[in-house]
């Protein structure tokens, strides 16, 4: 397989975020030839059209847009807040999706999420799929990875220890590579 690059985004800025830890598990489980780079969303300003001047963006937003554009696919992980994605992730998507040269356009994406509740992030993931329709991106439908009861599925060092969940993340990455490769051809 030729090199396949994935930009990963965590909707949580928390130091010991289960969602960021789930993205690290995805990095660990990625097959040979697949690299997953986690984007830093911590310095993305709140969306404000006044910060755009003559089609340019703040430097941190330019960095994120370039990172997305340079990859073959995007992997999202987000906690669920009020039945939706986190404000951190929505803000980053709003910035990245502005014209010109919207980097999500025609790109494959996949979603996973970890939360304390039994449903994991199922409602938030559904909302994220709706958001990505507006970005003209193509989502992996299955498998769906909802990590419920997250506090019991990560060890003290932040390693995802649930074997069934690890297998699903591996399958999700394989499906993302398959869809991303198909879209590129």
Q: What is the pLDDT of residue 185?
A: 85
Asked whether residue 139 carries a pLDDT value surpassing 90, the answer given is yes
List of domains in the chain: 4-184 (3.40.50.360)
Q: What is the pLDDT of residue 2?
A: 66
Asked whether residue 30 carries a pLDDT value surpassing 60, the answer given is yes
pLDDT more than 70, % of the chain: 98
User: Considering the entire predicted model, what is its pTM?
Assistant: 0.96
Question: In the chain, what is the straight-line distance between the N-terminal and C-terminal CA atoms, in Å?
Answer: 14
97-138 pLDDT, tens per residue?
A: 998 899 999 999 999 999 998 888 999 999 999 999 999 999
Contact by Cβ (8 Å): 57, 51: yes
Give residue 170's Cα distance to chain centre. Answer: 15
pLDDT higher at 55 or 33: 33
Q: How far apart are CA 135 and CA 99, in angstroms?
A: 11
Following DSSP, what letter does each residue of 114-146 receive, concatenated? E-SSTTTTHHHHHHHHHHHHTTT-EE--SS-EE
Q: What is the pLDDT of residue 34?
A: 98
Q: Which residues contact 145 (CB under 8 A, 6 or more apart)?
A: 22, 111, 112, 113, 120, 165, 168, 169, 172
Q: What angle do CA 60, 63, 66 make, to 5 degrees?
A: 150
Q: What's the mean per-residue pLDDT of the chain?
A: 95
Q: If we measure between CA atoms, which residue out of 28, 66, 20 comes closest to residue 173? A: 28
User: To the nearest 10°, the Cα dihedral for 77, 146, 133, 44?
Assistant: -20
């Amino acid at each position: 397989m030729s090199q396949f690059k994935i930009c990963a985004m965590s909707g949580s800025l928390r130091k010991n975020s289960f969602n960021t830890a789930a993205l690290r598990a995805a990095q660990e489980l990625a097959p040979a030839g697949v690299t997953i780079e986690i984007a830093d969303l911590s310095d993305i300003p709140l969306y404000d059209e006044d910060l755009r001047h003559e089609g340019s963006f703040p430097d941190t937003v330019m960095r994120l847009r370039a990172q997305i554009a340079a990859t073959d696919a995007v992997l999202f992980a987000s906690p669920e807040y009020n039945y939706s994605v986190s404000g951190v992730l929505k803000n980053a998507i709003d910035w990245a999706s502005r014209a010109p040269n919207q980097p999500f356009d025609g790109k494959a994406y996949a979603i996973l999420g970890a939360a304390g509740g039994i449903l994991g992030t199922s409602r938030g993931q559904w909302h994220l799929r709706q958001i990505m329709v507006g970005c003209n991106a193509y989502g992996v439908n299955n498998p769906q990875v909802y990590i419920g009861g997250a506090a019991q599925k990560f060890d003290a060092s932040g390693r995802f220890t649930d074997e069934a969940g690890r297998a699903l993340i591996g399958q999700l990455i394989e499906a993302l590579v398959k869809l991303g490769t198909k879209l590129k051809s």
